[in-house]
Structure 1
Amino acid sequence: MKAILLPVLILWSLQGLAASDQADYRLETVVKDIDLPWGMVWLDNGDMLVSSRNGEMRRINAEGEQTLIEGVPKVHVNGQGGLMDLERHPQYDLNGWLYLSYASREGEGDGSHTAIMRARLEGNRLTDKQVLYKAVPNTTSGRHYGSRIEFDREGYLYFSIGDRGDRDRNPQNPGRDGGKIYRLTDLGWVPSDNPFADQDGAIPAVYSLGHRNPQGMAMHPLSGDIWVHEHGPRGGDEVNLIKAGANYGWPILSYGVNYSGSQFAEAQERDGYESPVHYWDPSIAPSGMVFITSERYPEWRGDLIVGSLKFRQLVFCEVAGDRITATRVLFEDIGRVRTLRQGPDGYLYVATEDKGIIRIVPQKENVP
């Protein structure tokens, strides 16, 4: 795969880095003018494909030229909803399938709900579009659409849908969409071993429940496990390791409180419910996460980096097995981080809502 080499538009000073990292890295803005980027992947020729919450998708070539993609599905831009994540099929070079999540008005009820589509890119147009999943019923709420997409090493498709702001009905009911992690085949079929596939009244695609609003998802490079992080209310952002049929407790259990400061959760832990791998209090408003495997960052390999919307930071999470043993801030004032990706060139790319797309480059490395 050809590595993308976008022109550097801005070379940042190091004042936005945590003190311990100032001598080690520089930040390069590679895409400056882009509105609310949400997902990004690379095509085999090195072009970057970027989705924006406003419903647009752009192809960005090695010269930094942006081309709008035609044929994008009709998106309901509503509060936190719009055109969201992008993911390539693990065998994209053979079949050309792209996967995207978005807010869709299709189906019963007013408003919209999260949908998952696959499509191919021919030139600068999406074709062969197929809706694999559409959550129901629609709601006029603008909150908690999710939605991240990830494949595991066996080729199963995972995606998240938030509780849509209806915490008392959706997350704990396997028969209602919202507050769940889902698993399908790459064709959109329900695997026969899904934990709720044979349960009366349950949605067969559900893989785990009791989630609030997962906006980060990544596969652990060694174990193959799917990890997610999700927004808590006031406090209680979580990182969770996803297990088949597990209940992650929302809103029965939480390390957070209502935005008013009042209590709502019955406890923080309880037998029969999964506890988080890590939690933040106060909240950092996590968005985007990536396990680092690149040789460009040998000191980060195998560990997790998480973006923060609230504090405009990148947070380093030291991983040992299935635990996070320590965290620290890597970069401050980097922008409202929406997603993180390790590019085919091995660099870490950070998409922000206000400062464009940034590449993190080791100082000791000569970048062409």
Structure 2
Amino acid sequence: MSKPRRWLVAVAGAVVAAGLAVPASAAAQADEPIQDPLPDPVPSSLGLTVAEFAQFPKSEPVPAPTDPRLMRWARINHLGEIPDGSGRLYVPDLNGNMYLLDHGTQHVYLDVRAQFPDFFSGRGLGTGAGFITFHPDFARNGKFYTVHSENGAALSKPTTFPVETDPPFLHSIITEWTATNPAADTFSGTHREILRLGEHGQIHAIQQIDFNPYARRGSRDYGVLYIASGDGGKGAISTVPQELTNPFGKVLRINPLGTNGTGGQYGIPPDNPYAGQTGVVREIYARGFRDPHRFSWDPNTGRMYLGHIGEHRIEQVDEVRAGDNFGWSEREGPFVYKRGDPQCGVYPLPADDAQYGYTYPVAAFDHNPPPGSNLCSDSGHAVDGGFVYRGTIPELRGKYLFTDLVDGRIFYTEANQMRRGGPLAQIYQAQVYFNGQRTTFQELVGDPRVDLRFGQDGKGELYLIAKANGKIWKVTGTQRFASCSTGHTTVGATGASSWTPVTPAKWEFRHGEAILAEAGAERPGPRRPFEYAVMSKGPAFSNVRVDAKVRLDTPVDVTNRDVIVVFGYESDTQFYYAHVSTDNTIYPHNGIFLVNNADRLRLDDQWSEQMSRGAPPTIVDSEWHDVSVTHCASTGEISVKVDGKLVMTAVDTTLASGRTGFGSFDNIGRTRGFRATGKVAQG
């Protein structure tokens, strides 16, 4: 959510620890919150094709919720595969049921809610039967583990750690279950409690619990349970996530089959970073977390990646190692966090930041409130940690895929770019295809709040799980946006005879350039670009790709400088155009538009009405730039690239064919090497 380069100026010099080169002048801004901390994810032409895989029955929280965010069709939140070779998949529903999917057959394996009279799932987004994971030796020992929430009379029960002095709002309980017959379709056996935490509030309790599925028998990680324990809502007002004397805001690591841990119901792995110390929680593997949500391991490198949900500004992906401190609540992402700050901002790091030893994320994005809104307001964004893909789909291999679980956007980074101490990895936003059509998960679930998470089977294939409508989709392949064939007919502009301008007197044609030398003026009719020239040479095209070099000749100190590329031109009041501009803060600038006998209509995915902001400014200087526009008339897909980088996308099928051109609203500029390659329009 940024303007080019500005975020580099805003971040303090000590962010060099996160690999970002910044000028020394940033230190002078240490007392001012950074208005736009990080760049937006970059749009990608890579799309995931998805197919419906499973539909789960409607479920209800207890007690009845008052928060509409809990009023979902079903609160399914994960998919994994039982490590016994059976191919059975498991899916937990926070409202109580643990489901199995056995080669297409769905049934309840365990009703956690029915086992515990004080079961609680009606307050807080993560309460209920939060997670299930199976011991790597499940086929032989029948053991698996769940985490669930309790309230009411359960709050009088003793908790595992005596440091919990505040009256708890709920308890988070990890339970070990032992199945009499591990191959059975439904659970029958025994269970025992191994850990109980008293949570300060209804948010940020225990999220994921899991085993490293790639750890080999006999290795230090085999059979070791990792626990993502949130700060219980305390972190924003206290130093709890930093303190080694409590388990909150930590990733914990235990041996569930041992006995030397706190309370004697599990063991402490001897290689835990604090295993041999006294006066600290020896279960701690890493600290400094607000809401550590989902984690996974790269099967090729063994690295552990975790999606870490931020407070007001930063969503981050961390690579977690033993002894790490990710800074919360002194840091939010690679920035200073100030508890009690009425501005709810993030601030530049101090010049001596290295002395604190914080570990910073390997990828991150920000979320900003609408103009004029308080930064303390809920932005409606939260990162969900995903997986490094090493499966059978070639274009996804080596990518770390994750989501904004709230709005359902899908992101990825290149795993080899997520380097500790290096620059933050570039985040890309992927497209989504269902039944051959580009879509979004908001459209697929029929709700702006998707609650979307990734799951993975034993072969490394990916699934997407939505609470909004209780469905799971399987990722079946990839498709490239605007990848239609544009044929082999190419027409290039060679001089004045190739062009038909709106106002010929305003144009010059020399040295292979078409030059708009005098700014256009508004004309009667619908609101549309004031001055342009259509390439009259050659045929009209359906599918078409326009390639050109363009330059803005209006002085760079003019903020609303623009040029346009016209395509699908049928008449002076029916055409598309791509607007490339120095400005991206108002509706008419830096976007993809349709003129259809009415005022221009903005089409691009990048425009946010709420933020009054589009794609980052595309041309901010007076240099030549390569612009490429592709229009797939059959699907309506439109892509705009500047200097080889995809900057804008849209889908619209209003106009099926037409000519191409170049112009502006009320600025001057020029183009050279203008050519169109396309399929000749029929009729």
TM range (shorter): 0.7 to 0.9
Q: TM-score by structure 1 length?
A: 0.82
**How far apart in 2 are the matches of 1:117 and 1:348?**
27
Query: Which of 191, 200, 207 is matched with 2:269 structurally?
Result: 191
Partner residue in 2 for 1:300: 396
Distance 1:222 1:68, change over 3 A: closer
Confirm whether residue 20 of structure 1 aligns to residue 52 of structure 2: no
What is the match of residue 275 of structure 1? 360
Find the aligned partners of 2:142 and 2:128 in 1 and give their Cα distance: 24
| 2:205 is equivalent to residue 145 of structure 1 | yes
1:318 equivalent to 2:414? Answer yes
Unaligned runs of 5+ in 2: 1-42, 59-73, 160-166, 216-220, 258-265, 368-378, 433-439, 480-683
Matched, 1:113 2:171: yes
Cα gap change, 1:267/1:193 in structure 2, threshold over 3 Å: closer, same or farther?
farther
Tell me if structure 2 keeps the 8 A contact 1:251–1:265: no
**Structure 2 CA distance for partners of 1:200 and 1:116, relative to 1, 3 Å:** same
Q: Cα deviation per residue 1:40-99 (whole Å; 9 max; x = unaligned)?
A: 333443333221111222233334443352466533223121111222223333333222
Q: Please tell me whether Structure 1 or Structure 2 has the larger radius of gyration of its CA atoms.
A: 2
1:286 shift after superposition? 1.4
- Pick the aligned partner of 1:33 from 57, 61, 66: 57
- The alignment partner of 1:240 has SS state of strand
Structure with greater proportional helix content? 2
- Give yes or no for the alignment of 1:173 onto 2:243: yes
Q: Does 1:200 align with 2:293?
A: no
Matched residue type, 1:262: Q
Which residue among 190, 196, 208 is the counterpart of 1:134? Answer: 196
Residues 259 and 348 from structure 1, CA distance in 2 versus in 1: closer, same or farther, beyond 3 angstroms?
farther
Question: Per the alignment, do residues 70 and 113 of structure 1 end up closer, same or farther by CA in structure 2, a change over 3 Å counting?
Answer: closer
1:9 is aligned to none
With over 3 angstroms needed to count, the CA separation of the structure-2 counterparts of 1:175 and 1:45, relative to structure 1, is: same
For the pair 1:214 / 2:292, whether they are aligned, the reply is yes
Sort the Cα spacing of 1:322 and 1:67 in 2 relative to 1 into closer, same or farther, 3 A.
same
Over residues 184-224 of structure 1, what are the superposed CA-to-partner deviations in whole Å (9 max), with x where a residue is unaligned? Answer: 12423101221222333211101111100011100122221
In structure 2, the residue matched to 1:11 is: none
Moved more, 93-102 or 197-206: 93-102
Letter in 1 for 2:174: I
Secondary structure of 1:320's partner?
helix
Say which of 477, 489, 494 aligns to 1:362: 477
Letter of the 2:271 counterpart: D
AA partner of residue 52 (structure 1): D
Q: 1:262 maps to which residue?
A: 343
> Could you tell which deviates more after superposition, 160-169 or 264-273?
264-273
1:333 and 2:441 matched: yes
Q: In the superposition, relative to structure 1, how do residues 91 and 98 fare at CA in structure 2: closer, same or farther (>3 Å)?
A: same
Deviation of residue 138 (structure 1)?
A: 4.0
- Partners of 2:460 and 2:302 in 1: how far apart? 20
The equivalent residue for 1:164 is: 232
- Show the counterpart of 1:309: 405
When the two structures are aligned, how many residues end up with a matched partner?
343
* Counterparts of 2:270 and 2:459, CA distance in 1: 37
* Matching residue's letter, 2:176: R
Letter of the 2:227 partner, please give it: F
CA RMSD in angstroms comes to 2.9
Aligned partners of 1:37 and 1:279: how far apart in 2?
A: 26
1:290 pairs with one of 381, 387, 396: 387
Residue of 448, 457, 478 corresponding to 1:343 = 457
Counterpart amino acid of residue 120 in structure 1: T
The aligned counterpart of 2:148 is: 102
Residue-by-residue CA offset, 1:235-278 (whole Å, 9 max, x unaligned): 11111111222211001011477899714666557321111111
Contact 2:363/2:427, CA 8 A, preserved across alignment: no
Following the alignment from structure 2 to structure 1, what is the Cα–Cα distance between the partners of residues 188 and 329? 38
Unpaired runs of at least 5, structure 1: 1-17
Distance 1:47 1:354 in 2: 24
Is the 1:41–1:88 contact (alpha carbons within 8 Å) kept by the matching residues of 2?
Answer: no
Query: Residue 26 of structure 1 contacts residue 362 of structure 1 at CA under 8 Å; is this kept in 2?
Result: yes
SS at match of 1:38: coil
* AA aligned opposite 1:107: P
Question: How far off is 1:301 after superposition?
Answer: 1.8
Identity across the alignment (%): 20
| 2:108 alignment partner, SS class | strand
Mapping for residues 53-132 of structure 1, pairs under 5 Å: 53-67=94-108, 69-70=110-111, 73-74=115-116, 75-77=119-121, 78-80=123-125, 81-104=127-150, 105=154, 106-108=157-159, 109-121=167-179, 122=181, 123=184, 124-125=186-187, 127-132=189-194
* Residues in 2 aligned to 1:114 and 1:126: alpha-carbon distance in whole angstroms: 23
Deviation at 1:345, TM superposition (A): 5.5
Secondary structure of residue in 2 paired with 1:310: coil
Return 279-288 or 216-225, whichever deviates more.
Answer: 279-288
Quickly say closer, same or farther: Cα 1:56–1:321, change in 2 above 3 A.
same
* Contact 1:216–1:286 (CA under 8 A) maintained in structure 2: no
Q: Is the 8 A contact 1:158 1:182 kept in 2?
A: yes
- Going from structure 1 to structure 2, the CA distance change for 1:291 and 1:132 (only over 3 Å counts) comes to farther
Give the 3 Å change call, closer, same or farther, for CA 41–119 of structure 1 in structure 2: farther
CA–CA distance in structure 2, aligned partners of residues 303 and 68 of structure 1: 33
Using structure 2 for the length normalisation, give the TM-score. Answer: 0.46
In the alignment, is the contact (CA less than 8 A) between 1:288 and 1:306 conserved in 2? yes
